[in-house]
Structure 1
Amino acid sequence: MAAVLAIGLTGAGVGAGTAMAAGQANARPDRAEIEAIVRNYILSHPEIIPEAVARLEQAEARKVLASNRAAIETPFPGATAGNPAGDVKLVVFFDYACPYCRQGHADVQKLVREDPKLMVIYRDFPVLSPASTEAAMASLSAATQGQYRKFHDAMFDSPGRVSLVRTMGIVKGVGLSEERITADLSNTALKAELDRNLLLGRNLGLTGTPSYIIGNRVLSGAVGFDRLKEAVVAARAEKER
C-alpha cells in the first residue's frame, strides 16, 4: 500500500512538473506563433501598411537628405528668391518644359509673397528634352548676369512650348544679352552645374519635376500651395525644437 502511495505521489509530481513546463512554454510563444499573430493583425488592419511604408520612406529620406544637405541648400549664385537669410529653405527642382512646374511656380511665388522668412533655391533639372537643357543653360547664364528671376519668371509666365527660338525670344524680351546667352549655351562651367543638379537628383531618388526639398521632406509633383505651406511650417517647427 505504501509502495502504491509513493508511486502515486511520484506520478503526481511528474504530472505537476509537466504542467508547469507546458505553462512556461505557452507563456513564451515561438517565432512561428509570433509571426502568425503579426500576420493576422496586419490582415485585420491593412490600413497600417501605408503608414508603415511612409515612416520607412521618411526615415530613409532623412538619411539621404542629411548626407547631401550642403549640396542641396547651396544655391548657384543668383538662382534664388525670397529672403537670402531665410530660416527655412525651399529647394525647387524644375524643368522649363514641364507643365506641372508652371503650376508649381505660381504656388512658390505665392509662398514668397506671404512668408518673408522663406528662402527659395532653384535647381535647373532639365530631363524632358534638349530644349529643356538649352533653356536651363540660358537660365544659369541669366544668373551670372544678375537677372535670373527676371528670366525665370518670364519663362513660366509666358505661354508657349519650350524651344530655342522661344527661349531666345524671352532673353531678348527681358533685356539680356543675346550674344552672351548664345555663347553660354556651350559654357562648360554652366554645363557642370546642370550635371551636378542631375546627379544630386539621382542621389535623392527624384523621379520627375517639380520636386521640392523642404527641411527633411521630399515632395514630388505639383502638390499645391497648401501642402508646400504645411511643409514649410513643419520645417520651421522642427528647427525651433
Structure 2
Amino acid sequence: MRTFLLVLALIAIAGFPFVSNWYYGRVKDAYAVSQTEKIVEEYIQRNPEKILESVNQYRLAQFEEQQKQKEQEINKLIAQHKSEVFDTNYPSFVAKNAKTVLVEFFDASCGYCKLASQILLKIKRDYPNVTYTLRNLPILGQSSLVAAKYDTGVFLFMKEKDIQNLKYSDFHSRLMAHDGVYTPEVITKILSEIDLDPQEVLKFVEQNESEISAMIEATIQLAQKLRLDGTPVFIVGDKIVQGVSEAGLREMLEKAS
C-alpha cells in the first residue's frame, strides 16, 4: 500500500510541470554538489602543493594589506605629532636651507641599526642638503640605555661648547661600530679616540642627566604614540621606512626633494 502511494505521488509530481521542474532541479543540484566535492577532493589529493601555495599567497596578501593599513595609520599619527617628530634639539646634523628632514629611531645595541648606520653614512654623502635627526630609542636593555644617555649627552656637550658636528658624527659612528656591551669605560675610550677630554664630557653628562633622561623618555613616549614596535625606523615627511632598506630611504628622499 505504501509503495503504491509513493508511485501515485511521483506520477502526480510529474503531472505538474512547475513542481516537477523544482523536484528534478533539487535532485540535479544535489548530484552536482556531490560530483563537485568529489572532483575537489581528488584534486587536493593529487596536488597538495597547490593548496599550500594558495594558502601562502592568501596569507601574504593578508599580511601586505595589514602592513599597508598600519602604514596609513602611522602616516596619520606622524602628521598629528609633527612638531615632536622633527625636533632638531635632539642629536642632529643640520643642513643649511634644508627642505627635508630625515628622522631615525634607533637602538645602539640593535644589529640592524648598526647596519643602518653604515647605510646612513652613504646617504648623508649623497644627500648633503638633508637634515638628519637621531632619536635614541633604547628598547634592548641597560646597555642600550647607557649608549642612549651618552650619545645624547655628547651631542648636547658639543652643542654647548659650539664644537662642529663632525666631532659628534665621529663619536656616533664609533659608538654604533662598537660590538659589545656599552659602559662608561667604553664611552671614555671612544672620547679619547676623537681627542675629547673624557672627564670633562662625563662630568657634563652627569650634571645634565635629568635633561638627557627627559629627552630619552620623550622619545620612548613618541615611539609609543606612533605605534613603533622595533628599530630602526626612518621618517621623512609623513612617510616611514621600517627596517634596513637603502633603496627605500633613497626613494623616500627623492620624492621629498
Deviation at 1:182, TM superposition (A): 2.9
Instruction: Kindly provide the CA deviation profile for residues 46-67 of structure 1, in whole angstroms up to 9, marking residues without a partner as x.
Output: 5764554344323312210011
State which of 97, 102, 127 in structure 1 corresponds to 2:114. 102
What does residue range 1-241 of structure 1 map to in structure 2 within 5 Å? Answer: 46=58, 49-50=62-63, 52-76=65-89, 79-81=91-93, 83-146=95-158, 147-157=167-177, 159-164=178-183, 165-183=185-203, 184-185=205-206, 187-223=209-245, 225-236=246-257
Deviation at 1:122, TM superposition (A): 0.7
- Partners of 2:61 and 2:191 in 1: CA distance: 52
Alignment size in residue pairs: 190
Runs of 5+ unmatched residues, structure 1? 1-42, 237-241
Structure 1 match to 2:26:
none
Instruction: Kindly provide the CA deviation profile for residues 168-222 of structure 1, in whole angstroms up to 9, marking residues without a partner as x.
Output: 2112222233223433147101110000011111111111111111222222222
Deviation at 1:75, TM superposition (A): 1.8
CA contact (8 A) 1:126 1:132 kept: yes
CA contact (8 A) 2:76 2:238 kept: no
- Partners of 2:197 and 2:149 in 1: CA distance: 14
- Partners of 2:152 and 2:68 in 1: CA distance: 37
Identity %, equivalent residues? 21
Instruction: Kindly provide the CA deviation profile for residues 23-63 of structure 1, in whole angstroms up to 9, marking residues without a partner as x.
Output: xxxxxxxxxxxxxxxxxxxx9x9576455434432331221
- Partners of 2:192 and 2:171 in 1: CA distance: 10
Instruction: Kindly provide the CA deviation profile for residues 114-148 of structure 1, in whole angstroms up to 9, marking residues without a partner as x.
Output: 11222111111111121211121111221122242
Change (3 A) 1:137 1:180: farther
Deviation at 1:76, TM superposition (A): 2.4
Runs of 5+ unmatched residues, structure 2? 1-54, 159-166
CA contact (8 A) 2:92 2:133 kept: yes
CA contact (8 A) 1:73 1:89 kept: yes
- Partners of 1:111 and 1:180 in 2: CA distance: 32
- Partners of 1:130 and 1:101 in 2: CA distance: 17
Change (3 A) 1:56 1:196: same
Local SS of the residue matching 1:145: helix
- Partners of 1:156 and 1:188 in 2: CA distance: 24
CA contact (8 A) 2:75 2:240 kept: no
- Partners of 1:50 and 1:208 in 2: CA distance: 17
CA contact (8 A) 1:139 1:152 kept: yes
- Partners of 2:153 and 2:228 in 1: CA distance: 25
Change (3 A) 1:84 1:188: farther
The structure that has the greater radius of gyration is: 2
- Partners of 1:75 and 1:82 in 2: CA distance: 8
